[in-house]
Structure 1
Amino acid sequence: MKPKQSDFFTKPQHRRQQITFAMSSDEDFSLVIPPPSEETLESIKASINKHKKKHEQLIQEQEELVACRNDQQDMAEQFRQRSIKLNQKRKEDQRSREEQMENDKAKIKLGQQEESDLMEQILRVEELLEQEKARNLHLKQQNDVFSAVPERKVAFTGLTGKEGDGQEFDMETNIVYPMEGGTAFITFEEEVVASNILKMQKHEVKVGAGCRITVEARQVHLLLPRLVEIDSEVSSQHILISSLPKMEIEPLLNKLEIHFSKTKHGGGEVEKCEMLPDSWTVALTFVKNDIAKGLIETEHHDVKLQEKMHRVRVTAFLNGKITNLVTKMTACPRTLLLTGIPTIMDRETLQDELEIHFQKSCHGGGEVVAFLYNPLGQHTSAVFGGPPKNTDKETE
């Protein structure tokens, strides 16, 4: 409670005694003393006590105000400290949220990358699946073809052996070797003879009367296949016709071409019709690609042959394609190349003279299987083929 302004400045009022001096004209005066005040000493003491109590009350109120002010200051300090802590916590929460947002962005980016990788894997798997489907379809077609191969009676006359003893396939070589002028190929019956001639390198050969020439023997290298992989596929234009009766080939081909060229028989325009004599099977080629499949699915067809209906069998035709070829350089063990041969006489005579020289054992030679000479200024090619039947010899 705020004290009133008048309370702070109220003091006991002491009435003054008024003394009246009456002066006469002859300067006589008299002292007039007013009557005594009504306030007594007791009333003044009471007033002083009253004001003391008010003063004490004011001091107490002042102390209470100071305590209240201190409480307010403490509370304000507490609020300030709490505000600082809240501000720090807000900043920490903001940093935490920012870090969380960065982590979430990194996770989202990682998830997007994983999703992209998974999509690539899915595409690769789908591509592999398509390839596997195509491969399965191809194998199914091959299986259908192999199960529908034209029947042919065969008789086994060979020998049995363990698995892996035989070759996977047999292929006859037919290598064309261009010859330079003034050279000759000579093939000996024995490898040791060719080896001896090669070691001697240069040979002096007597040709004609008193004429000698010097020739050089060199190794012959051929590029031969070491591994051949062939992939087969069903032709969309060809068919094989089997179960045919024995008759003249030309009329048979004409009848088959006429029959399978008609649309009512499921055929179409025929491009080529030829006989495979080893199996008595006809290979027929259509102009369009969409005809052979329907005829193969029907399989058996009735064709008028030799004035009567004959049931023939139509199966698929396989095309082969080389998918892998590995070659190697191979030295001919019995064939040598003779170089440096001059043109000093006719071809046949000079070839005979050279062959006679290298057949003689005194010159380190031996039995000659083949000899081919190419004079200077001429172009000749030697053909290297497989070994003859029932022999292991090379042929040119």
Structure 2
Amino acid sequence: MKPKQYYFFTKPQHRRQQITFAMSSDEDFSLVIPPTTEETLESIKALINNNKKKHEQLILDQEELIARRNDQQEMAEQFRQRSVKLNQKIKEDQRSYEEQMENDKAKIKLGQQEASDLTEQILQVKEALEEEKDRNHHLKQQNDVFSAVPERKVVFNGLTGKDTQEFDMETNIVYPMEGGTAFITFEEEVVASKILKMQKHAVKVGTSCKFTVEARPVHLMLPQLVEINSEVSSHHILISRLPKMKIEPLLNKLEIHFSKTKHGGGEVEKCEMLPDSWTVALTFVKNDIAKGLIVTENHDVKLQEKMQRVRVTPFLNGKITNLVTKMTACPRTLLLTGIPTIMDRETLQDELQIHFQKSCHGGGEIVAFVYNPLGQHTSAVFGGPPKNTDKETE
């Protein structure tokens, strides 16, 4: 068998060495190195040893690389496990976060409901406060209203009534009279009722004149209930406790006094006397003056050459809020119609009054008699009952 030739190359500075391997049937492998003059066996051994070291170093490097690979694999496994745990932790945190979000949403919803309930309660409290404020304002106005009534001397008569705040008002009803009619008021109701039942009455005037009048009932629309919403005016004051003197000088003195700022007053727009109560109503131009004067209440004013202490109280503006009326027949007053104009007014009125006073004609004592001739226009005024009686004054 022809031996194969193999060539080994070492470092570049060495030249090529030719090594011949001979294969025979007796040996599997044989190395034949032809001797050369340039290379010796020692150099070849050194080369082999060098290669062995390199081989050992490669094995060591390979083992180190394997160890590093194992370390890397172990580290990768640890990272993988940590990644799994982190993923699980993230999922758990996500679930916890979602649960927390749901809980927070529920708390927010509950808080919103509580806030809504609180807002509603606040509104209710505000409404209650407003109602209480309005009620207090109303009570204060009522107190001002009753404190504004001019002072009058009163006596307790031993009578009791309902615990209500009322005003006494005098009724004045204006009734237009047609021509040829008369109003007649009897002292007793029974007389008026008898005259009304007879209806037609023949009245004789003188010796030859006679005419017929008809008696009719008088119906009046009377108030049964009057509710007035009163409030204190910011421009007006009432001045009471005034001495009796001429009205014109009194009004001038009061206007001059209360128009001065040193007395707490201001520009006066109007000053007028209320003769039924001997009280003066004073109107200011500005609306911030009356209140200060009312708070002071008592004021010293020079009247009749000396200082007089007068009282200043609020002025009330009233508005009717409820009015209930009823048609009522006057029990003692009748209307006579069909009266002709046959003589002068006073004479004919006297003749009619004499006729209806006689008991033979069914009449009786007459309290009032008013006659309106044909072609004339007048009005009768019906007032309230006189004090301490149950009879009306017409």
1:368-379 matches, cutoff 5 A? 368-379=366-377
The change in CA–CA distance for 1:166 and 1:340 in structure 2 (over 3 A counts) is farther
1:161-172 matches, cutoff 5 A? 161-164=159-162, 168-172=166-170
1:279-358 matches, cutoff 5 A? 282-297=280-295, 299=297, 314-358=312-356
Shift in Å at residue 244 of structure 1? 7.2
Aligned letter for 2:136? N
Shift in Å at residue 259 of structure 1? 3.8
Number of the residue aligned with 2:178: 180
**Matches of 1:386 and 1:148, distance apart in 2:** 24
1:269 paired with 2:267, answer yes
Structure 2 residue corresponding to 1:196, chosen from 158, 176, 194:
194
1:202-241 matches, cutoff 5 A? 202-241=200-239
Shift in Å at residue 282 of structure 1? 4.8
Unaligned runs of 5+ in 2: 1-115
Would you say how many aligned residue pairs link Structure 1 and Structure 2? 281
1:140 paired with 2:149, answer no
When the two chains are superposed, the root-mean-square deviation of aligned CA atoms in Å is 4.3
**Matches of 2:176 and 2:348, distance apart in 1:** 20
Shift in Å at residue 333 of structure 1? 0.9
The change in CA–CA distance for 1:155 and 1:195 in structure 2 (over 3 A counts) is closer
Q: Secondary structure at the match of 1:378?
A: coil
1:1-150 matches, cutoff 5 A? 130=130, 133-143=133-143
* 8 Å Cα contact 1:239-1:283 kept in structure 2: yes
* 8 Å Cα contact 2:294-2:314 kept in structure 1: yes
Aligned letter for 1:227? L
The change in CA–CA distance for 1:170 and 1:145 in structure 2 (over 3 A counts) is closer
Shift in Å at residue 164 of structure 1? 3.9
* 8 Å Cα contact 2:144-2:232 kept in structure 1: no
* 8 Å Cα contact 1:187-1:394 kept in structure 2: no
User: Which whole-Å deviations, capped at 9, do the CAs of 1:336-371 have from their partners, x for residues lacking one?
Assistant: 112222233333333333222222222222222222
Number of the residue aligned with 1:26: none
**Matches of 1:166 and 1:141, distance apart in 2:** 15
Q: Secondary structure at the match of 2:364?
A: coil
* 8 Å Cα contact 2:173-2:382 kept in structure 1: yes
* 8 Å Cα contact 2:183-2:336 kept in structure 1: yes
Aligned letter for 2:287? N
User: Which whole-Å deviations, capped at 9, do the CAs of 1:108-153 have from their partners, x for residues lacking one?
Assistant: xxxxxxx9xx99x999997786465334223224435656878x58
Q: Secondary structure at the match of 2:367?
A: strand
* 8 Å Cα contact 1:232-1:320 kept in structure 2: yes
Q: Secondary structure at the match of 2:175?
A: strand
Shift in Å at residue 308 of structure 1? 8.5
* 8 Å Cα contact 1:181-1:379 kept in structure 2: yes
* 8 Å Cα contact 1:185-1:371 kept in structure 2: yes
Number of the residue aligned with 1:62: none
Q: Secondary structure at the match of 1:349?
A: helix
Aligned letter for 1:139? L
The change in CA–CA distance for 1:195 and 1:292 in structure 2 (over 3 A counts) is same
Aligned letter for 1:336? L
Aligned letter for 1:183? T
* 8 Å Cα contact 1:205-1:215 kept in structure 2: yes
**Matches of 1:148 and 1:377, distance apart in 2:** 47
1:359-374 matches, cutoff 5 A? 359-374=357-372
**Matches of 1:357 and 1:309, distance apart in 2:** 60
The change in CA–CA distance for 1:123 and 1:352 in structure 2 (over 3 A counts) is farther
Q: Secondary structure at the match of 1:223?
A: strand
Unaligned runs of 5+ in 1: 1-114
**Matches of 2:353 and 2:241, distance apart in 1:** 54
Aligned letter for 2:180? G
TM-score (norm 2): 0.57
* 8 Å Cα contact 2:145-2:230 kept in structure 1: no
Shift in Å at residue 301 of structure 1? 5.9
Q: Secondary structure at the match of 1:341?
A: coil
The change in CA–CA distance for 1:163 and 1:380 in structure 2 (over 3 A counts) is closer
TM-score (norm 1): 0.57
Shift in Å at residue 216 of structure 1? 1.5
Aligned letter for 2:332? R
Q: Secondary structure at the match of 2:169?
A: coil
**Matches of 1:345 and 1:170, distance apart in 2:** 43
Percent of aligned pairs sharing the same letter: 85
Number of the residue aligned with 1:257: 255
Shift in Å at residue 330 of structure 1? 0.9
**Matches of 2:355 and 2:391, distance apart in 1:** 21
User: Which whole-Å deviations, capped at 9, do the CAs of 1:267-292 have from their partners, x for residues lacking one?
Assistant: 32112335667877654320121222
